[in-house]
Amino acid sequence: MKYITDAKEAKQIDNISINEIGIPSLVLMERAALSVVDEIQKKIIGKLKSISNRNDEIKVLVVAGMGNNGADGVAVARMLMHNGIETDIKLVGNIEYASDEMRKQLGIAKKLEISFVTNIEDKEYDIIIDAIFGIGLSREITGGYKEIIEKINESKSYIVSVDISSGVDASSGRILGIAVKSDMTVTFGTLKRGMIMFPGAGFSGEIKVRDIGFPVEAVESVSPKAYTFEQKDINEIMPQRKVRTNKGNYGKVLVIAGCETMCGACYFSAAAAYKAGCGIVRILTAKENLQVLKTKLPEAIIGSYDEEFEDGIDFTPKKEVEEAINWADVIVIGPGLGKSMKAKILVKRILKVTDKTVVIDADGLNVLAEFIDNGEIALDNIGPNFILTPHIKEMSRLANKTTDEVKNDLSYFAAAQAYCTVVLKDARTVVGEGRDVEKRKMYINMSGNNALATGGSGDVLSGIIAGIAAQDREMKPSLAAALGVYIHGLTAERYTETKSRYSMTASDIIDMLPQVMPE
């Protein structure tokens, strides 16, 4: 598991390291600069020379602001010059407001007679290092700062940002008027939310996280609220399969899905639950889907919810629906269910479940949004045993906000709108749990790619989450959801190793699951 910090948390780690633990700030700064130089020499300079087959010298420009980020940049320039690389410095801002560290770094640079330039156009640079603003920026960029960033972006240089691309909000990923469009960002200690959340992720390029000496104690005392998974985490978190077991040991998933014209969504969710490792899957669907599902997924127990409606819409669940609810360890409701009166009655009944994990997806969320609009239920009254899996448009309906409002602050809408777990699906899916600002944790997914943008992908995800949750009744819904999202993304990464991302289907996601699940 990797921590992901916002601007406040990153500053706290820095402050604790310097002022409480006692590591001098200039020591951390030197290590930060060394890591940037290392990445530049290791990843860029050799590549530039090999591509261009050139014998002349590589030219580098450091564009430095007056804060500590600029001080990092000036230290980088000094180290590059020491290594024999022609490097100039362009200062941006009023020297009267320079930080103490910046003044010290400028004094060293001037004594070593490093070149300072007034305009980027003075030379044609192969590499431009952006050290204008660090993680503390919160205001819109205007005036001369905007002009210099425009020139950097218009250049044909390879652009490297120090810690974060100038202009990207480190906490949300919002663009503060304008931002440097980096080819690579070298960041220190931890990933920052803003560089992996969109739109900031689109300005960050390749991200390199470098250890510059922040003590583990400093990071753990801050306990950042956001985290992400790595491949090794799957084996550690997935419920272990023991030798002497049977299907009952791995949980029972009930899938209530599929109207008369939407058999596929029901199949995808149920099949994915099996592939994720649950023991038994039971399906309740429209009667028109029964024969297809019996043929397509003979492993499942298959029945219809239609029989419950024989007496009309004045319906109290009985017979198969009520028995199936009592039977299940985990329930999925919504994929392809439609928004008919039948669907509304089924969703209303499932909302009363309190003793098992429930995943509400797709049409289940659309029905839920209608209940919220009508005042029949409030979003923050949905119990902590529930997992909601909306995409941005669905979340906008649930929260009664515009899609742009949701898109611009995924972290807030995933983690601060409900007491249940919310899986807010986007290019960076965010899994939030609970509304307690001080205690809540947030998972930000970094697996996957745009091959997952295909019909049925969300139905598969709901099944994966349910299949994981069913295997361990003690697992927190938020953890099952986060792990499910991560595994779902890995299927796309594995698929695109050998196949085109244009061609992936929901069936392919299910087929790839055995290749990314633990052995």
pLDDT at 46 over 90: no
- Which amino acid does the sequence have at 119? N
Cross-strand bridge partners of residue 319: none
Q: Which of 384, 336, 337, 331 is nearest to 359 (CA)?
A: 331
Quote the tokens at residue 89: 């410095």
Edge-to-edge strands of the sheet including 191-192?
A: 191-192, 2-5, 226-228, 442-444, 430-433, 421-424, 386-388, 357-360, 330-333, 252-256, 280-285, 301-304
Dist CA 428 CA 448 (whole Å)? 9
Q: Which residues are 152's β-sheet partners?
A: none
Q: How confident is the model at residue 30 (pLDDT cuts 50, 70, 90)?
A: very high
CA–CA distance from 154 to each of 57, 157, 293, 463 (Å)? 22, 9, 56, 46
Please state the rounded mean pLDDT for residues 254-281: 97
pLDDT digits (tens, 9 = 90+) for 424-477: 999 999 999 876 656 678 999 999 999 999 999 999 999 999 999 999 999 999
Determine the average pLDDT of the residues in 2-22.
97
Does 54 score more than 90 pLDDT? no
| Position 227 confidence tier, pLDDT thresholds 50, 70, 90 | very high
Instruction: Report residue 334 as tokens.
Output: 């919504």
Interatomic CA distance for residues 432 and 295, integer angstroms: 38
CB 170 within 8 A of CB 135: yes
Helical spans, DSSP H, in 276-380: 290-296, 319-327, 341-350, 363-373
Write down the mean pLDDT value for the chain: 93
Contact (CB, 8 A) for 137 and 158? no
Does residue 277 surpass a pLDDT of 80?
Answer: yes
pLDDT of residue 314: 53
Query: Number of C-alpha atoms within 13 angstroms, CB side, residue 364?
Result: 29
- How high is the pLDDT of residue 310? 58
* Pair type for strands 421-424 and 430-433: antiparallel
**Closest by CA position to 480, among listed 490, 465, 464, 463:** 465
Tell me which range, 46-50, 56-60, 133-137, is most confidently predicted by mean pLDDT.
Answer: 133-137
Window from 72-76, 288-292, 318-322, 463-467 with minimum mean pLDDT:
318-322
pTM (two decimals): 0.93
Say how far residue 332 (Cα) sits from the centre of its chain: 23
pLDDT computed for residue 387 by the predictor: 97
3-state secondary structure of 313: coil
The length of the chain, given as a count of residues = 519
Determine phi and psi for 197, rounding to 5 degrees.
-90, 145
pLDDT at 135 over 90: yes
| 198-218 residue pLDDT tens | 999 999 999 999 999 999 999
Q: Could you tell me where the DSSP H helices lie in 238-390?
A: 263-275, 290-296, 319-327, 341-350, 363-373
Average pLDDT of span 163-190? 97
At 476 the pLDDT is: 94
**CA dist 247 → 137, 225, 327, 441 (Å):** 54, 36, 14, 32
Proportion of the chain above pLDDT 70, given as a percent: 94
Name the one residue in this structure whose structure tokens are 């409480």. Answer: 20
My answer on whether omega of the bond before 518 falls inside 30° of 0, hence cis, is no
